[in-house]
Amino acid sequence: MSINDLVNGSYVKWMDSPQGNRDIAISCRVRLARNITGIPFPHLLDEASGMKTLELIRKAWQDSSGKVLPAMEMVTYDQMSALERQVLAEKHLSSPGHAGSNSSFRAIMLNHDGSLAAMINEEDHLRIQCLLPGLQLKECYSQVQELDDELERTLDYAFDENRGYLTACPTNVGTGMRASVMLHLPAIQMSGQLNQVLHNISQLGLAVRGLYGEGSKPIGNFFQISNQITLGQTEEDICNYLQTITEQIVEQESLLRNQLHRDMKYQLEDKIGRAYGILSNARVITSDEALTLFSDVRLGVDMEIIEGISLFALNELMVAVKPAYLQKLGGREMDVLERDIKRAEVIKEKLKSKEVQ
Amino acid sequence: MLCDECKEKPATVHLTQVYNGQINESHLCEDCAAQKSGLIFGPSHKFSIPNILGGMFGAIYNVQDVSESSTKCSNCGMSYQDIKRVGKLGCSECYKVYEPELESSLRSIHGNSKHLGKIPVRGGEKVLVKRQIEELKNQIQEAVREEKYEQAAQIRDMVIEMEKKLS
């Protein structure tokens, strides 16, 4: 697969579902922020110094004798259309802010399945990430660390003995690491415990965000949980802490799912069946409505109330219903109503084909 | 005491705001407070990350006021005022130039100001050795506690060797 396939196709590594049909933790990510010593951070960059950063990184990539780096592809954002860049953000391979910029010195590097990505000249010179399905933070860290080591052989990273890796924003300094987990918590929401759980998570020093990270609203019971502190803890400690807390949330969600099924079997099956009914029969549907209903159907699939739909297909749909990807599918720009119609079509088609696992 | 805003109802909410080291106290009735807190915390308020971070740079923790100072980072030209305004530093050199100011900001963000994580192999050689020395010194103390003096002496010799390398 190439960057072209990653943009045009529907598959990205994180969509695989490693734990069979039960995945309360949908995907996990470890991201490292790195900068090159002496060069102003991207928010101050002009064309010339932006190109200088890009060329240094390009050289590190081209000259690399490592395993990971040479297997990645690089493309600058002026070579992609706005729609294509937006698709990258919808697939969690780039950030919305970075993807929004048509610039010759902003670029992305991706490996064949999109599990490794490096954003060039985002908020920092380099933001490298590993994004995997399920809850496997240690694996994420180990893969992103390998990429980091290979880059570091050539690049002079901005590093200080006391402050660690230096970043544009002081909230990232130190390890420069943000580890996050995407969780689906419908039972916690239905049982009325959501606010309490989210409050507890933030009390534990973790941040809770929506599906698309910073600034995005939580929708469809999908939440992203990440570490806030990057300085004064080791990378392993940060991963372990997030892993431990996530496991507890997953356990709680799991318990509540069983309880729901025991105490409110008919109401639950009714809710899930109705969601499936709307999704497979709607002619016009907004993105928000679709995501909300996906949550119910996903719960149904997890709890084996609905059969014949794979979680992989649902993960694919979560991206396929986003505006840029829909327009990519349609092969043209569409207004809101046209997108809502196309979205309903795509969902209907996908649910009809019912990929059996 | 009557409410500062409506001057009609008794003030039951006492609000203290600290902004750029300036303390602003207001005494409000419940209704006016609800309105005001809506302004402060509501979605329409620009409670954005740069604003919050800008606040962290010296606002809350009474860091010496450097607003009068004309210091600029010689590498990127950012003044401390600029950093406070955008909530970001300008380049890696800024971390050295504004080290004292940053110390308390970093503590307020992370509860800590010393890096314990990964060290790059290139450019971080000395730091790696220093960290190994720290580790060995801890081992010496451990050995002494367990009365393994011979072992402690051996480790001490290793530390001396490594310290020679550093200088």
**CA–CA separation, B148 vs A287, rounded Å?**
68
| Contact call for B89 and A170, based on CB within 8 A | yes
pLDDT value for B17:
64
| Contact call for B117 and A161, based on CB within 8 A | no
pLDDT value for A187:
94
| Separation in Å, CA of A238 to nearest CA in chain B | 10
Q: Which stretches of chain B are DSSP H helices?
A: 30-41, 49-56, 80-86, 94-97, 99-110, 125-145, 149-166
Determine contact, residues A312/A16, Cβ cutoff 8 Å.
yes
Which residues of B are less than 8 Å from A141 in CB distance? none
Determine contact, residues A179/A29, Cβ cutoff 8 Å.
yes
A49–chain B Cβ distance below 8 A for any pair: no
- Identify the band that residue B93 occupies on the pLDDT scale cut at 50, 70 and 90: very high
Residue B115 has its nearest CB partner, among A35, A158, A163, at A163
Q: Which of A264, A287, A290 minimizes the C-alpha distance to A275?
A: A290
Helix (H) or strand (E) holding A294: helix A287-302
**CA–CA separation, B153 vs B157, rounded Å?**
6
Would the pLDDT of B56 be above 90? no
Cβ neighbors of A21 (< 8 A, separation 6 or more) are: A301, A302, A304, A311, A357
| Contact call for A39 and B91, based on CB within 8 A | yes
The DSSP string of A171-216 is TSTBT-EEEEEEEE-HHHHHTT-HHHHHHHHHHTTEEEEBTTBTTP
**CA–CA separation, A187 vs A177, rounded Å?**
30
| Contact call for B111 and A232, based on CB within 8 A | yes
**CA–CA separation, A314 vs A308, rounded Å?**
11
| Contact call for A162 and B88, based on CB within 8 A | no
pTM: 0.81
Q: Which stretch, A45-59, B6-20, B23-37, B52-66, has highest mean pLDDT?
A: A45-59
Provide the total of helices (H) and of strands (E) in chain A, helices listed first: 13, 10
B46–chain A Cβ distance below 8 A for any pair: no
Cβ neighbors of A150 (< 8 A, separation 6 or more) are: A64, A66, A67, A68, A69
- Identify the band that residue B6 occupies on the pLDDT scale cut at 50, 70 and 90: confident
| Separation in Å, CA of B3 to nearest CA in chain A | 32
Residue A170 has its nearest CB partner, among B105, B118, B124, at B105
pLDDT value for A222:
92
Which residues of B are less than 8 Å from A175 in CB distance? 115, 117-118
| Contact call for A164 and B49, based on CB within 8 A | no
A192–chain B Cβ distance below 8 A for any pair: no
| Contact call for A152 and B95, based on CB within 8 A | no
pLDDT value for A308:
85
Residue of B89, B96, B135 to mutate when probing chain A, most A C-beta within 10 A: B89
Determine contact, residues A5/A88, Cβ cutoff 8 Å.
no
| Separation in Å, CA of B117 to nearest CA in chain A | 4
What value of ipTM does the predicted structure carry? 0.84
Determine contact, residues A197/A190, Cβ cutoff 8 Å.
no
Residue A159 has its nearest CB partner, among B56, B89, B124, at B124
**CA–CA separation, B31 vs B11, rounded Å?**
10
Which residues of B are less than 8 Å from A160 in CB distance? 92, 95-96, 115
Would the pLDDT of B50 be above 70? no
Total CB pairs under 8 A between chain A and B? 124
Report residue B164 as tokens: 């020679």
Percent of chain B at pLDDT above 90?
28
B127–chain A Cβ distance below 8 A for any pair: yes
Residue B123 has its nearest CB partner, among A35, A123, A157, at A157
Residue B95 has its nearest CB partner, among A40, A160, A229, at A160
Would the pLDDT of B45 be above 50? no
| Contact call for A232 and B112, based on CB within 8 A | yes
| Separation in Å, CA of A210 to nearest CA in chain B | 16
Low-confidence winner among A176-180, B62-66, B82-86, B104-108 (lowest mean pLDDT)? B62-66
Put simply, the chain A residues between 112 and 151 with a CB less than 8 A from any chain B CB are 123, 145, 148-149
Report residue A262 as tokens: 């025991």
Sheet of strand A25-34, all strands in order from the earlier edge strand to the far edge: A73-76, A107-110, A116-120, A126-133, A25-34, A177-184, A222-227, A206-209
Task: State whether the Cα torsion A339-A340-A345-A347 is positive or negative.
Answer: positive
B105–chain A Cβ distance below 8 A for any pair: yes
Along the 357 residues of chain A, how does pLDDT read in single tens digits?
Answer: 678 888 888 788 888 876 554 679 999 999 999 999 999 999 998 889 899 999 999 999 999 999 999 999 999 999 999 999 999 999 999 998 899 888 999 999 999 999 999 999 999 999 999 999 999 999 999 999 999 999 999 999 999 989 999 999 999 999 999 999 999 999 999 999 998 998 899 888 899 988 776 666 778 899 999 999 999 999 999 999 999 999 999 999 999 999 999 999 999 999 999 999 999 999 999 999 999 999 999 999 989 898 888 888 888 898 889 999 999 888 889 999 999 999 999 999 988 755 433
In sequence order, the β-bridge partners of residue A184 are A222
Determine contact, residues A39/A52, Cβ cutoff 8 Å.
yes
Report residue A321 as tokens: 């219903």
One-letter identity of residue A178: R
Which residues of A are less than 8 Å from B87 in CB distance? 169
Which residues of A are less than 8 Å from B73 in CB distance? none
Which residues of A are less than 8 Å from B106 in CB distance? 163, 170, 173, 231
More confidently predicted of B82 and A217: B82
